[in-house]
Amino acid sequence: MPSDLERAMETLITVFHRYADKEGNCNTLSRRELRQLMETELSSFLKSQKDPATVDKIMKDLDANGDGEVNFEEFVSLVVGLSIACEQLYQMKKTHSCKK
């Protein structure tokens, strides 16, 4: 039976390929595929952003090799960055609740 972390890694891979397989290269996300993934899988994050060009900025930041697409390694850097930000919020809330 897989562990929680193994299931999380499997889910990350599955979600990436669910969107990457929609058009063009099945191993990368186009701008449109990245937008669809974020609108569906990260909708709370997108709703909290005030800038309508958020996805375009993220695409530019993620596309390390400048090919106009996001490969799995580039995608994982987005997930890591968001996970770190969420963990920092968790720590802030935890610290705040411990002081009460």
**What's the CA gap between 93 and 95, in Å, rounded?**
5
Secondary structure of residue 2 in the 3-state scheme: coil
pLDDT in tens, 72-92: 999 999 899 888 888 887 788
More confident residue, 70 or 99: 70
Cα–Cα nearest to 15, from 68, 78, 62: 78
Q: What is the pLDDT of residue 100?
A: 55
Question: Helix 31-41 crosses helix 54-62 at what angle (to 10 degrees)?
Answer: 120
pLDDT in tens, 24-43: 899 999 989 998 998 899 88
Domains and CATH numbers, the chain: 4-98 (1.10.238.10)
Distances (CA, A) of 6 to 3, 10, 27, 75: 5, 6, 21, 18
pLDDT in tens, 10-25: 999 999 999 998 988 9
